[in-house]
Structure 1
């Protein structure tokens, strides 16, 4: 049985070679015919296009011939394998009968009579090496690949129109991608439908173009707010006698301002007016200079007010004066505020009324204040009482640059001050 299988395989290979040889011969004949007949065809009908019906029919016929050949081959090999397995299980003593080959001969695959040219390597798809016209090149669409997941928004900038234009506005994507769910929210937004109306609204209320990127970088959720709600909150602030320029400045410096409801904004304004016992004008002044008072938590504000009253010993009117002059005292770090007050009051021996008169000292840098006081004390000029000669103002001590401090207050050179700093 194994010898018969070998002979059958050799016969199969011979028939396959014969089929390929005859097909190649037919191909050459058709090529010659195409070179003679094709010229007149091109002259009469123009250039032969890739979508010509004759060429398409030729490719279809050739595919049918090759698929028929491979189907007969697979069928023969399957039948032979089953019979060989049966002969192994049941031994036979008689001589095996001859079975005709299942592979068709060349004459069983007739070619169409009207076929002029057959391209053996032709395919329905265009070749990558084939030259095309400029019009066809422009019409080719290349699908953009967008990664399903990523740790950075940078990979989506070239694929998303929204992210591209936000970057052009100056939005810091590296800040937004740190926040949960913000990146996916931005990718779902359509620039013309969701982003552009919000930007136009901010420009209409007076926000400068240079501040748009800052606002979105710190508050991307403003893009999902309803424009009617935003307009309602702006109208409320204007009804409280905030000017249009002041509202635009407040929104530019406190990006979350318009995300809060009118009820919350009204409660915040009432809180500061009642706690500080301020008039409506002074309350607007404080909030306009530090608009984040309407956005942040009230706990640090309440704590700093208690510290100023209980620990520092300021009176109610003194606290009012300090807050009106330096609103940042309400949101300053408690540890830093306590450290500066302790040094000014206990080390520099400055009384409460002078600190109230020059509250900017509470907002200064502790290290700078300490170095300058020690340098004046080393020179014997640390005198902060306005009733005594050689008086040094706390305001100038805290705000002047180093060069002016040395020449105007310390009466020394800048090099002497730098050498003294190295001894500390």
Structure 2
């Protein structure tokens, strides 16, 4: 029994000190007191052990002591089990707190078990969606915008902007517009129903086809900011100058900036061409209708080309007039290209001025096309451009026919022979 109590004492000392252990230590005086009765004297009578009344009391005390010790042992075992559970819970809480610290996106409250009372307190602390707030609190509320705060491409705004999405459906090339300064921000500020739709309806009333809306807005997005009164006044002016409704619609479709210019500017442009070219009103309308960008572009290239044709190329006034009526693009053609083609026609091919003025389409052709075909005809001995001579070849047919027809009708050769000749150049 003494050894048993000693073992129990060692086990109790190994436990961490707590209130429960303190209760266990209170049992040790009784244990020491009971050990005094462990050695009970026994008397023998005629070979039999005789136990007196005192000895019976001692055996009963010993039984009570054993029962008391068993209860203490069970209590110690339960205490150790409880301590183990508490240690496990403490480790789990510490691990959860470490995870919450390492991952700031994980709320700390999710790492700690929440009781029903705590949930009720949290729910009571939250504001109701129907609760009224003051003006100062309302001003302080920040509402996240659906629009990206900043971007270099209009593509990022298409899904959030009704205006941009509708323009894309119309065939507008946003990648071209975003390369122009301040155009992207202008389009984002426009409202489709109040700003864009009325202008599109106006263009439709003028006679512009629906398929041309995308082309017009891509090249001239500023038409969406023009007032409807100004647009209508410019259309009315063109109609007052005896341009038909179909012609006005065609001019607007091919020259998107036409309606952005004031009536005064349009009138000055028409007067300039009529005076400098000595044209009638009908011829002026015909030239402008065929090339409406003459009313939109700068007049400096036009004045320079007129001087080049008169001074450098040596055409007469009536010849220039005829060239412009036949090919209005001569007025806006590149000066270097115009001079190069004329030099080859007049100095290499020996074509006089009056024949070039009679077939002015040659001035609008490609220089390489004219040179290759002339050299092939010269190689075959058929380069004859004088209408008074046999085997005459018209300049118009020289530049207008496809390669196959040119070989068969003018060169009297095959297309393979022409291809082989081009490789020798």
- TM-score normalised per structure 1: 0.68
Q: Per-residue CA shift, 1:319-348, capped at 9, x if unaligned?
A: 000000000000000000000000011110
Report the CA distance between 1:64 and its aligned residue. 9.7
1:233 equivalent in alignment to 2:231: no
Once the two structures are superposed, the pairs formed by residues 118-157 of structure 1 within 5 Å of their partners are: 145-157=146-158
Partner residue in 1 for 2:321: 320
Aligned to 2:196: 195
Matched, 1:185 2:186: yes
Question: d(CA) in 1 for partners of 2:310 and 2:217?
Answer: 38
Q: Which deviations, in whole Å up to 9, do the C-alpha atoms of 1:237-291 show, x marking residues without a partner?
A: 0000000000000000000000000000000000000000000000000000000
Partner of 1:339: 340
- Residues 200-242 of structure 1: per-residue CA shift (max 9 Å, x gap): 0001000001111000000000000000100000000000000
Q: CA-atom RMSD, angstroms? A: 2.6
> Do residues 362 (structure 1) and 363 (structure 2) align?
yes
Distance in 2 (CA, whole Å) between partners of 1:159 and 1:416 is: 61
| Aligned twin of 1:7 | none
2:304 paired residue number: 303
Matched, 1:213 2:214: yes
Matching residue of 1:246 = 247
For residues 72-83 of structure 1, what are the structure 2 equivalents within 5 Å? none
How many pairs are equivalent? 302
CA distance in 2, matches of 1:158, 1:64: 37
Q: Is the 8 Å Cα contact of residues 144 and 159 (structure 1) preserved in structure 2?
A: no
1:102-152 CA-to-partner distances (Å, cap 9, x unmatched) read xxxxxxxxxxxxxxxxxxxxx8899xxxxxxxxxxxxxxx97732111111
Task: Show the counterpart of 2:385.
Answer: 384
Show the counterpart of 2:71. none
Residue in structure 2 matched with residue 351 of structure 1 by the alignment: 352
Q: For the residues of structure 1 that align with 2:367 and 2:211, how far apart are their CA atoms? A: 33
Name the counterpart of 1:410.
Answer: 411
Q: Counterpart of 1:233 in 2: which secondary structure?
A: helix
Listed one character per residue, the Cα deviations across residues 44-90 of structure 1 (whole Å, up to 9, x for unaligned) are xxxxxxxxxxxxx966753499x9xxxxxxxxxxxxxxxxxxxxxxx
Which of 114, 121, 133 is residue 62 of structure 1 equivalent to?
121
SS of 2:247's equivalent in the other structure is: helix
Question: Structure 1: which 5+ residue stretches go unaligned?
Answer: 1-9, 12-20, 22-56, 68-122, 127-141
Residue 242 of structure 1 contacts residue 284 of structure 1 at CA under 8 Å; is this kept in 2? yes
Shift of residue 158 of structure 1? 1.1
Give SS of 1:146's match.
Answer: coil
Counterpart in the other structure of 1:108: none
Alignment CA distance shift 1:170-1:64 (3 Å): closer
Aligned with 1:422: secondary structure?
Answer: helix
Q: Is contact 1:250-1:291 (8 Å) kept?
A: yes
Q: Determine helix, strand or coil for the equivalent of 1:282.
A: helix
Give, in whole Å, the separation in 2 of the partners of 1:205 and 1:182: 25
Residue by residue over 1:151-192, the C-alpha shift from the partner in whole angstroms, topping out at 9 and shown as x without a partner, is: 111111111111111011110111101100000000110001
Contact 1:361–1:398 (8 Å) recurs in 2: yes
Mapped to 1, the partners of 2:176 and 2:392 lie a distance apart of 48
**CA–CA distance in 2 between the matches of 1:203 and 1:143?**
39
- Tell me which residue corresponds to 1:31: none
Superposition TM-score, scaled by structure 2 size: 0.68
Distance 1:362 1:59, change over 3 A: same
Partner secondary structure for residue 383 of structure 1: coil
State the match for 1:83 in structure 2: none
Larger of the two Rg values belongs to structure: 2
Structure 2: tracts of 5 or more residues without a match: 1-17, 20-85, 87-115, 130-142
Secondary structure of 2:424's partner? coil
